[in-house]
Amino acid sequence: MTVTELGRASGPHGEVVLRRRTVEDGSTHLELIVDGVFAMDDVDTSTERALATEALARCTGDRLRVLVGGLGLGWTAATALADPRVAAVDVAELQGALVRWAGRGLLPALGGADRRLRLHVTDVADHLAGSPGRYDAVLLDVDNGPAFLVHRTNAPLYEEAGLATAVAALRPGGVLAVWASDPVPELADRLGGLPGAADVEHLVLPVQRDGRRFDHAITVARRAGSS
């Protein structure tokens, strides 16, 4: 196996590294390391894509506005853009370098330019707090899950106040979806306890990798009220 570094940058939120692995049969995979923690690779992106499709399947209407937090390798954002009902995708990403690399075409999932896509270098918690009632779908994948944080500072996102802010960023009837590397029924319970949230579901999505089964999870909730 050979590893080629495509980008490395340090900033206020630690170091981010984008690299390409080439294995013996010649196949290649991108991987992302954030602040020393393996964030993801593109060996199987089915659940990153499902984060968008599961949320959008629960949205009604068209001209949909979507917020994705964070960018990663761009699979969730690209999947949202593939839905013709989607009019705008905002991505909140902490690492400015990753946004620059996306602009240089280093994230092939994003494909060519799409005028519906806006990449913001910001903490998604701040973006959510400044966006009450704005989105039809909010798709959160900024950690490996509430129990496996990439940044300790993300912990409040999964507490009641943080979840309430995420739900409040939705239009009535809008959908919040949160990715996690492991099942997190406690997150579903917490969302279910919020007065503004309804129809909470906890989806367990199995993925086979290196001959092993991993259960990732997506927790979905709707903002109470109709759109």
Q: Which residues of this protein are in contact with ligand SAM, per CB under 6 A?
A: 34, 39-40, 48, 69-76, 92-95, 98, 123-125, 141-142, 150-151, 154
Q: In terms of CB distance, is 50 or 173 closer to ligand SAM?
A: 50
- Shortest gap between Cβ of 154 and ligand SAM (angstroms)? 5
Q: In terms of CB distance, is 11 or 172 closer to ligand SAM?
A: 11
CB–CB of 42/59 below 8 Å?
no
- Shortest gap between Cβ of 24 and ligand SAM (angstroms)? 26
Tokens of 189: 């319970």
Q: In terms of CB distance, is 90 or 136 closer to ligand SAM?
A: 90
With tokens 């106040």, the residue in question is 161
Q: In terms of CB distance, is 71 or 188 closer to ligand SAM?
A: 71
b/e 124-158 (16+ beta carbons within 10 angstroms → b): bbebbeebeebbbbbbbbbbbbbeebbbeebeebb
Q: In terms of CB distance, is 76 or 219 closer to ligand SAM?
A: 76
Instruction: Supply the DSSP symbol for 158.
Output: G
Q: Which residues contact 218 (CB under 8 A, 6 or more apart)?
A: 47, 50, 51, 54, 177, 178, 179, 180, 202, 203, 205
Tokens of 160: 């009641």
- Shortest gap between Cβ of 220 and ligand SAM (angstroms)? 15
- Shortest gap between Cβ of 140 and ligand SAM (angstroms)? 9
